[in-house]
Structure 1
Amino acid sequence: MARRNRARRGKVILVAGGAGFVGSHLCSALLDAGNRVICLDNYLTGSPANVRSLNGNPYFTVIEQDICDDIAVDEPLDQIYNLACPASPPSYQADPIHTMMTSVTGTGNLLRLAERHAAVFLQASTSEIYGDPEEHPQQEDYWGHVNCTGPRACYDEGKRAAEALCFDNLRVGSVDVRVARIFNTYGPYMQPNDGRIVSNFIVQALKNEPLTVYGSGEQTRSFCYVSDLVEGLIKLMNCQPNPGVPINLGNPGEFTVSELAELVLSKVASASTIVHAPLPPDDPQRRRPDIARARTLLGWQPKVALHDGLSHTIAWFQTTLAKQRAARRPGRTRRRPQQPVLSQDL
């Protein structure tokens, strides 16, 4: 049920997926900048808890809805951010057809909403559109190396199709569209069991469980702290003139998975060891963004080093897990969680 605002200030901005990990940080930043924010989320992977602190703000509204359904917003909209899509393999592979349709039908619905309101539209795409890249680092003009029929295709190809829809709308002049290709992002409000590599390692270390490294651990990733990413998204949305091309947003610092595991263990007083498991199908071997375009067109580059960002994230998980333990009912039977799989996205 939507809660109506009592006043209007700044821009009116819809954030689809606003109760998710990145979306909740974006909603908070937009409110802090003096805007009216409408959070639209179906809570499939987002959580009401992520935006609970915003609920008392008179300029914030929550609408519970799936973007695959027709979307109607009564008040005028100035901007729409589309962050609505599961982003980790356990989440997007749980219902791959819905994942694909979220990127295709859902993005189409939001583009039509943007056209009706003459709103500027930003699509959250992903580094996954590059697949297991044969070019390194990845520049935006690289077309990618993607298995279009594999178990990750629902997400990878869904996002590629969403980009095609966005740029077709831009070419025909129906919507002012911007596209951000987001690389590995981490920080507070990640779900402890979402299967992303940073949250996997932190939660396992805090529970004194073995840190699961898939494959040799020599595959590389680049990790961007969430506040840096949010700043980049806002800069891209407000950039004039429209760049008219996709923009990589990520931290170009490159680390092996094994290096990340060792760094987490160095920051957590843990008895955990490192174990290895088979690499999932189509898992990229190297991932690093070329952000020259973001530096030139947006004046953006990340500021938070991995060492510092991990400290903030670990502190948040320590508090979150402690609250979960305190809330657990005595005698409750717990099912052993399925071993998560690495994720390379939001």
Structure 2
Amino acid sequence: MTEVNLSGKHILITGGAGFIGSHLVDRLLERGAYVTALDNFVTGRRENLTLAMKNQNFRLVEADVSANWPKEKIEFLSQGLHGLFHFACPASPVDFDRIPFEILAVDSIGTFRSVDLALEYGSRYLIASTSEVYGDPLVHPQTEDYFGNVNPIGPRACYDEAKRFGEALVSTAIRGVGTWNGRADYGSRANASGKKGLNGGIVRIFNTYGPRMRPDDGRVVPELCMQALQEKPLTIHGDGMQTRSFCYVDDLVEGILRYFDSDLSAPTNIGNPSERTIREFAEAVREQARIDGFQEMPIQSLPGRQDDPKKRCPDISVARMKLGWEPKVGLTEGLSRTFKYFHSEMEKRN
């Protein structure tokens, strides 16, 4: 598909200092865009923006997307706003207990505010949704028309249901109906293409890994990699037979940008359909550690987590057909790069 010329155009990324957001920042700067990253650094990391900070077309605004937007601080708004990626939201299970209300706020209030800004400027808008909207799925692999099997009051609900609400809000704004609080008339505003409603879209992101993940993130990739680097037993939750599909971050970002360049608006799965058990993944981490000269450690089981999905694998037929996208980086290569990244992070701490 044809890549849109973004040279000189302004893009705003909420959560721009996060794992995925910072990679988007770099790719958009490479395409010649003026990029503003907005982040409150609850989970984002300044070091993720080291490369971007050297670029004169980049600006960082430290702010909370759930609070009043500091539009006066967004310097490049004077040039308009071509695109807005709403990618702010803590996504780790350790955060579900630590900051659940912040998670709920960013995907509700933050989504309202970001959608309103995109409508004001006629911007192309993308919200980062998640495979978690499928919950513990009864359909496998998961297609976009599956409505999910989600516990609305469980320990993961602050994230799962917030993302489902975000999808509902964005899809309603795309339809161009109704008013909100008597202020933002989503039914009468025209987007950049002259049509009513938000020129928006929804990307459902499946398990992603790679450089710039937080070492203390608590998700399976950083947890196992850091344990292997410290030559500690590798711990898995439950029997390890639950499955996941791991997509390398470079592949994911390519899929997201292809969606942004398209005229799609429907939810679309972006992930790697190569499925493996958590135990198999732990064995792959252990093998990578051995290759890199670390002692081979045993794999130990911990109690399972409530509502932890038993299977997760995306059907990416829509992305293949409409975006011409599929992942290219295999687990062996991606894990090697990721393990080296975590090794460098550990050395910084020592």
Provide the rounded CA distance (Å) in 2 between the counterparts of 1:234 and 1:13: 12
Question: What per-residue deviation string (whole Å, max 9, x for no partner) do you get for residues 150-195 of structure 1?
Answer: 0100000000000000000000133111100000000000010101
Aligned residues: 316
1:243, distance to aligned residue in structure 2 (A): 2.1
Matched ranges for 1:249-264 at <5 A:
249-264=270-285
Structure 2 gap segments, 5+ residues each: 1-5, 177-195
Map of 1:58 onto structure 2: 56
Provide the rounded CA distance (Å) in 1 between the counterparts of 2:218 and 2:265: 33
Question: What per-residue deviation string (whole Å, max 9, x for no partner) do you get for residues 282-311 of structure 1?
Answer: 000000000000001111100000111000
Contact 2:202 2:267 in 1 (8 A): yes
Provide the rounded CA distance (Å) in 2 between the counterparts of 1:187 and 1:95: 24
Provide the rounded CA distance (Å) in 1 between the counterparts of 2:65 and 2:265: 25
1:35, distance to aligned residue in structure 2 (A): 0.9
Amino acid at match of 1:54: A
Map of 2:210 onto structure 1: 187
Give SS of 1:55's match.
Answer: helix
Contact 1:93 1:154 in 2 (8 A): no
- Is the aligned partner of 1:101 residue 2:105? yes
1:9, distance to aligned residue in structure 2 (A): 4.2
- Is the aligned partner of 1:248 residue 2:246? no
Contact 2:96 2:155 in 1 (8 A): no
Map of 2:183 onto structure 1: none
Question: What per-residue deviation string (whole Å, max 9, x for no partner) do you get for residues 87-123 of structure 1?
Answer: 1111232121221111011011000000111100000
Task: Flag the 1:244–1:53 CA change in 2: closer, same or farther, 3 A.
Answer: closer
Contact 2:128 2:202 in 1 (8 A): yes
Q: TM-score when scaled to structure 1?
A: 0.90
Q: 1:17 aligns with which of 9, 15, 18?
A: 15
State the superposition RMSD in angstroms.
Answer: 1.1
Greater shift after overlay, 51-60 or 107-116?
A: 51-60
Provide the rounded CA distance (Å) in 2 between the counterparts of 1:115 and 1:287: 34
Contact 1:121 1:175 in 2 (8 A): yes
1:271, distance to aligned residue in structure 2 (A): 3.7
Question: What per-residue deviation string (whole Å, max 9, x for no partner) do you get for residues 300-332 of structure 1?
Answer: 10000011100000011111111111xxxxxxx
Provide the rounded CA distance (Å) in 2 between the counterparts of 1:114 and 1:272: 50
Map of 2:227 onto structure 1: 204
Contact 2:10 2:81 in 1 (8 A): yes
Matched ranges for 1:21-170 at <5 A:
21-71=19-69, 72=71, 73=74, 74-75=77-78, 76-170=80-174
Map of 1:291 onto structure 2: 316
Provide the rounded CA distance (Å) in 1 between the counterparts of 2:226 and 2:244: 19
- Is the aligned partner of 1:227 residue 2:250? yes
Which structure is higher in RCO with an 8 Å CA cutoff and minimum separation 6?
Answer: 1
Amino acid at match of 1:250: G
- Is the aligned partner of 1:301 residue 2:322? no
Runs of 4+ in 1 over 4 A off after TM superposition: none
1:250, distance to aligned residue in structure 2 (A): 0.1
Structure 1 gap segments, 5+ residues each: 1-7, 326-346
1:272, distance to aligned residue in structure 2 (A): 1.9
Provide the rounded CA distance (Å) in 2 between the counterparts of 1:24 and 1:92: 22
Provide the rounded CA distance (Å) in 1 between the counterparts of 2:106 and 2:281: 31
Question: What per-residue deviation string (whole Å, max 9, x for no partner) do you get for residues 240-286 of structure 1?
Answer: xx223100000000000000000110110224211101111100000
Contact 1:45 1:91 in 2 (8 A): no
Question: What per-residue deviation string (whole Å, max 9, x for no partner) do you get for residues 111-138 of structure 1?
Answer: 0000111100000000000000000000
Amino acid at match of 1:237: F
- Matched residues, percent identical? 45
Give SS of 1:148's match.
Answer: coil
Give SS of 2:50's match.
Answer: helix
Map of 2:304 onto structure 1: 279
Provide the rounded CA distance (Å) in 2 between the counterparts of 1:159 and 1:153: 9
Provide the rounded CA distance (Å) in 1 between the counterparts of 2:329 and 2:153: 37
Give SS of 1:180's match.
Answer: strand
Amino acid at match of 1:281: Q
